[in-house]
């Protein structure tokens, strides 16, 4: 069987709807997806150095005539780090690598309000026990710079890189708050047309958001009881027990200080006019964000 790669890539900010888009595309009758959603090939040197043939094995079972792709959100972010070298050095940018191998690939980029993304990342890393629950957002940004909690919201930098290498006709951007949350079916019709699929197919919307964040009660239990609780809760969220666990999530996190939110909003607002110009649309990312 002849080797093949992806027809499309789904990339974007954390918690911006990449899992949702993947699950929606999986319902289309002419789409066949690999068993693994995130392949982490172009953003990890240890994977990339295994060669393109290794990557294409994930698509080997896709029948001819079926559209396929993958969804590794972190491809959006700039350079591929060469982990083998000390100190680490940087290889070419991820869009350069992608275009070298797949110059005709379609790229779907999902973005969300960068302040909300930073808050989501803050709790994500807390859930992963990378700092204790007593760590404030401002301290997490300052004391754990390698996590790039603020930097990964600098969309203008990363979008500029992708636009420099991907033809405009092959790059589609969706905004989580406007396209995914408010008009999901209309957005899926746009996606289907972009990929050359029948836009008349209407997928079934999920009853609950895929890959939803952990509640505060379960984050605290994970820190108090350790990794066994985290493993249990991760499995239980995919089972009928999820409803029971959701009902005991009664604790609320402390509010994020207003000064931290204002600083983040001001930081991202400086980039927004040029970002809107590059996207060709206004971004209704509001000022009234609360933690």
Q: Is 284 exposed, middle or buried (0-12, 13-18, 19+ CB in 10 A)?
A: exposed
Q: What does the alpha-carbon distance between residue 218 and residue 3 come to, in Å, rounded to a whole number?
A: 44
Residue 240 has a pLDDT of 74
Mean of the per-residue pLDDT values of the chain:
87
Mean pLDDT for 136-160 is 94
Verify cis geometry, omega within 30 degrees of 0, for the bond prior to 107. Answer: no
Q: Where are the beta strands (DSSP E) in 98-203?
A: 106-111, 171-175
Comparing 61-70, 73-82, 95-104, 231-240, the range with the smallest average pLDDT is 231-240
Question: What pLDDT score was predicted for residue 289?
Answer: 45
* Domains in the chain with CATH codes: 8-208 (3.40.50.300), 216-247 (no CATH)
Q: What is the pLDDT of residue 40?
A: 94
At 290 the pLDDT is 42
Does the pLDDT value for residue 63 go beyond 90? yes
Q: Which of 206, 179, 55 is nearest to 108 (CA)?
A: 179
* pLDDT at position 288 over 50: no
For the record, the structure tokens of 68 come out as: 């396929």
Long-range contacts of 142-149 (CB under 8 A, 24+ apart): 147/121, 149/118, 149/121, 149/122, 149/125
**Cα Rg for the chain, rounded, in angstroms?**
20
**Residue 81, pLDDT above cutoff 60:** no
Give per-residue pLDDT as tens, 201-252: 989 988 766 566 777 776 776 777 767 776 776 777 777 777 666 766 666 7
pLDDT digit string, tens, across residues 120-133: 999 989 888 898 98
């Amino acid at each position: 069987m002849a080797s093949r790669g992806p027809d499309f890539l789904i990339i974007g900010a954390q918690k911006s709807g990449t899992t949702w888009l993947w699950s929606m595309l999986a319902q289309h009758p002419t789409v066949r997806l690999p068993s693994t959603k995130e392949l982490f090939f172009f953003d990890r040197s240890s994977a990339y150095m295994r060669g393109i043939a290794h990557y294409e094995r994930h698509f080997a079972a896709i029948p001819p005539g079926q559209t396929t792709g993958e969804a590794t959100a972190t491809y959006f972010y700039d350079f591929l780090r060469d982990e083998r070298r000390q100190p680490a050095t940087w290889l070419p940018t991820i869009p350069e690598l992608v275009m070298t191998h797949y110059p005709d690939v379609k790229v779907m980029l999902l973005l969300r309000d960068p302040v909300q993304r930073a808050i989501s990342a803050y709790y994500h890393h807390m859930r992963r026990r990378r700092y204790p629950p007593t760590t404030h957002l401002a301290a997490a940004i300052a004391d754990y710079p390698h996590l790039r909690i603020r930097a990964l919201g600098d969309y203008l930098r990363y979008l500029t890189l992708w636009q420099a290498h991907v033809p405009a006709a092959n790059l589609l951007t969706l905004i989580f708050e406007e396209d995914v949350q408010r008009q999901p079916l209309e957005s899926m019709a746009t996606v289907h047309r972009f990929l050359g699929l029948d836009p008349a197919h209407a997928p079934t919307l999920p009853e609950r958001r895929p890959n939803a964040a952990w509640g505060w009660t379960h984050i605290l239990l994970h820190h108090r009881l350790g990794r066994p609780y985290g493993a249990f809760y991760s499995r239980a969220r995919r089972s009928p027990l999820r409803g029971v666990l959701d009902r005991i999530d009664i604790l609320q996190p402390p509010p994020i200080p207003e000064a931290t939110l204002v600083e983040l909003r001001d930081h991202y607002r400086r980039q927004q006019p040029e970002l809107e110009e590059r996207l060709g649309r206004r971004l209704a990312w509001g000022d009234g964000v609360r933690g």
